[in-house]
Chains A and B, each alone.
Chain A
């Protein structure tokens, strides 16, 4: 795997563990169709379906990772979420889109900025 992909996978793994530790069940990782990819799909303890976009960075030199989610990307996330729901016969269920920014510091420390219901 290329360095970038390692970084991305590390971030996603970290967020998945964070969610599991809070009682969420991970349903799917890197769900990919022609329109794009959803990093994590989880089910909350109350049954709500959660779609998570994970942004991982090794430094904040180029701005906050969440700033990388432009309105166009946000709209795509929304479309993908509906796509997943319809292909999994869950259309009409309650769902939520979250974003997580993961910062991997050179010291090995990992910082998480998790935002719920961003769209």
Chain B
């Protein structure tokens, strides 16, 4: 009898699919059927939509209502279909006429009073919609900030279903949206100048930031490992707008996006607790495959404190994303890929009691315990960590002195300058950071100076360095050379790189 179609977008991970919400209102006993693999939250939409319509002054069609979400094979989840279903129902009842509906998508959850509530994943949904030729999007007002990040879409941000109907039926203008300024860098409350001493660890962090090298900090409790790690984002360069869009899209899907905030170009800092599960680390979930800590740390820092305390397997679940820069999660519903290219920072105590440093007099652990403790970090994982630093307790003079360390701003300027050097060098290659130089290029275009290479070959012959370690040291040496404005790593750069890799001594 009455048919209508309205468009919306369903997400599988960050990939969006255009969905046709079809409504058929037929004669017959009042009933409601929702087709197209809805999950529990979506199946509940009937009661939300019904109340929202009633409270917006719209009659519910007391007939045989069939709602079909097409393509039917794609599992759909979440509450973002409420608004398109309501619109399709009104359209089928002839109460809603929109000439541009072929090019419009509707996204939003309905409250019982007709209010339109924020949903997650608006940013990736709109990115997909634009690619699929959509010209206009009707979205919840609280999602407007993230929606603004997509260029070239006409946006109608609404507070309530009633407001939207007023606009379409009576031509009443929507209340204007507040301007949202793009935040380039959210000024962090932490700064590198908070840290006393630790000149070696500071330098190691700077080199790690330049080349995107993974980092392990070992030291007794209270020496500032966590403080140091938390300050890494403050010395990293801003992510570029394209990367920021990726980061925001992941946060949007995870439902972590703070309403009202716009594009944030500060690299993320994610610090999961050491009891975290592998699912929370890399992502998962059976109904709605959520991104994990590894993806939330995309283009930023993933910091794991007390790394040896992690459950076995959790840290190793990071090996794949460390290698490929993305996580693919496969569940019964389907398979989802999230990007996960992060800088891994691990912190560990030197031994179970934590006091094994200096002469180790205060330590109550046996030598076997000490050896076993750091062995909990698996060999293949450790192999991917370029820099291992022992963080010593600050000395008495450092504690007594009033000297303030360098600020994040100062260090960041140096990191930026060094990164600029490496970026010009890699202009014709498909990687950006020193830590990403493929091994075959390290042996050809990106060799160190001849006498510097000799040092490396000596180490190799003395079996103090594996073949993989050889390449790792060379990549580190490039970052050091960039920080010292050297054209190519020289002997001292190589020696510094060796010291960074082995500063934690036999402990690592």
Interface set of A (CB-CB < 8 Å, partner B): 64, 66-67, 69, 74, 99, 115-119
User: Which B residues from 129 to 146 make CB contacts under 8 A with A?
Assistant: none
Q: Is B27 an interface residue (CB 8 A)?
A: yes
Q: Complex Cα distance A69/B30, Å?
A: 9
In-complex Cβ contact of B30 among A67, A116, A117, A119 (8 A):
A67
Sample (20) of A-B pairs whose CB atoms are under 8 Å apart:
A64-B30, A64-B62, A66-B29, A66-B30, A66-B62, A67-B30, A67-B62, A69-B29, A74-B29, A99-B29, A115-B27, A115-B28, A115-B29, A116-B27, A117-B27, A117-B28, A118-B27, A118-B28, A118-B29, A119-B29
Interface set of B (CB-CB < 8 Å, partner A): 27-30, 62
A115 to chain B, nearest CB (A): 5
The chain B residue sitting closest to A70, CB to CB, is B29
Q: Complex Cα distance A65/B495, Å?
A: 87
User: DSSP class of B's interface residues: helix, strand, loop or mixed?
Assistant: loop
Q: Complex Cα distance A67/B30, Å?
A: 6
Give the one of B28, B29, B30, B62 with max A CB within 10 A. Answer: B29
What residues on A are CB-neighbors of B29 within 8 Å? Answer: 66, 69, 74, 99, 115, 118-119
B178 to chain A, nearest CB (A): 41
What residues on A are CB-neighbors of B62 within 8 Å? Answer: 64, 66-67
Task: Give 6 nearest A-B pairs by CB, closest first.
Answer: A64-B62, A118-B28, A118-B29, A67-B30, A115-B27, A66-B30
Q: Complex Cα distance A67/B60, Å?
A: 12
B91 to chain A, nearest CB (A): 21
What residues on A are CB-neighbors of B30 within 8 Å? Answer: 64, 66-67
B47 to chain A, nearest CB (A): 13
- Apart from A64-B62, A118-B28, 9 more pairs, CB < 8 Å: A64-B30, A66-B29, A66-B30, A99-B29, A115-B28, A115-B29, A118-B27, A118-B29, A119-B29
Q: Complex Cα distance A98/B24, Å?
A: 20
Q: Complex Cα distance A74/B31, Å?
A: 12
What residues on B are CB-neighbors of A115 within 8 Å? Answer: 27-29
A97 to chain B, nearest CB (A): 10
